[in-house]
Structure formats: C-alpha cells, structure tokens
Amino acid sequence: MWRYLLVLSFISCRINPFYTRTPEPPEEGRRLNLFSPTVARNVVRNLELTWEKFSSVDYMECLSEDFRFSPDPSDSTKFEEIFSEPWDRAREEAFARRLLDRSIVSSLDLSLKLEYEEDRGDEHYFEYSYTLQLQHDRDAPGYMKGKMHLTLRRDATGNWSIVLWKDEKTSDTPTVGELRARF
C-alpha cells in the first residue's frame, strides 16, 4: 500500500527519482578547510596545504600585510635585477598566482623538516629544511632545497601570520629564491 502511494505521489508531482542534475562548475578561488591560525605552527601547516592544494587565495591568508621574502645572499647577487627591490606581499601574490596555477604547474611536492623553533611571545621563529619538487612549463628549476627561516607575528585578534621568510642555500641545489626569480 505504501509503495503505491509513494509511486503515485512521484507521478502526480512529476518528479523523477532517478533524475541527475547537471554538475556545477568548480568555484573560482575555492577556499580550503585550514587549521586555525591561533597556533603559530598551524600557519606553517597551512602554508604546506595551500601549496599542495594549489590555493593561492588561502596561501596569501598565511602572510601578514607587511610580509617580506629575503633571498639567500647568493641569489640576491645572481638575480640582482629581481631582488634589488624588496620582495613584498604584492610580489609574493603575483608569484603565488603563477606557482599555484595548475595550467602552469602540474605537480608540486613540498616537504618540510623542523630544525629549530623559538617562542618569543608575540613572535614565533621557525627554521625548516625543505625540498620542493615541481613539474612545470617554465624555464625554472624543478627541484629546490634549502632552509627557510620563518618569523611569525600574532595580531590583535590572536591570529598568527608570516612576517618574514628568509631563504638559505644549503648546497649547490637551487632554492625557492631562485624559483621566485625565474618564475
């Protein structure tokens, strides 16, 4: 009896229970479900996630408004025309849009190993050794290695963000500083 009523209600409402709808296109600038920036280490985890998930919008949320990138001195010399002006948030955003664009970079693997950490109250310092592997269509390195020195600052709302990213060359392998210069 219930089955007949259910079928009759579908027929009377002209509802097809097997109807499939047209898929919606992906949202532009879709946001990731990231860790809370109220913990300094979470911001570094978010940096990793946003790069691996190709989200430049979310990556920029990890950076402070007065963000600076400081290349290794050898990269500053090698790419003097690029690094003669300070690498600020605007330049980092332009770089991130290119780096985290799937039509340019087909794969990205960032690996971080914590070497040192220091809590300085409203500032937090991290030192990570890193490797970064990319497959891309640019005239730039595909494998980078070095150390990143990150200084994070807590704002008035209690959220942490990266204020300074200093790059250190640890071998003859290119660094993310060279990637920024050539990308």
pLDDT at res. 72 = 98
pLDDT at res. 33 = 87
Q: Which residue, chain included where needed, has tokens 């979470």?
A: 42
Number of domains in the chain: 1
Nearest in space to 60 (alpha carbons), one of 82, 31, 85:
31
* Cut 0.85: pTM above it: no
Residue 18 inside a domain? The answer is: no
Q: Which residue, chain included where needed, has tokens 């509802």?
A: 15
Burial 116-140 (b: 16+ CB within 10 A, else e): eeeeeeeebebbbebebebebeeeb
Residue 106 inside a domain? The answer is: yes
pLDDT at res. 51 = 95
* CATH assignment of the domain containing 135: 3.10.450.50
- The residue range of the domain holding 151 is 34-182
Residue 26 inside a domain? The answer is: no
pLDDT at res. 63 = 98
Per-residue pLDDT of the chain in tens (183 residues, 90 and over written 9): 666 666 666 666 655 555 565 554 454 455 788 999 999 999 999 999 999 999 999 999 999 999 999 999 999 999 999 999 999 999 999 999 999 999 999 999 999 999 999 999 999 999 999 999 999 888 888 999 999 999 999 999 999 999 999 999 999 999 999 999 998
- C-alpha 105/C-alpha 68 separation (Å) is 24
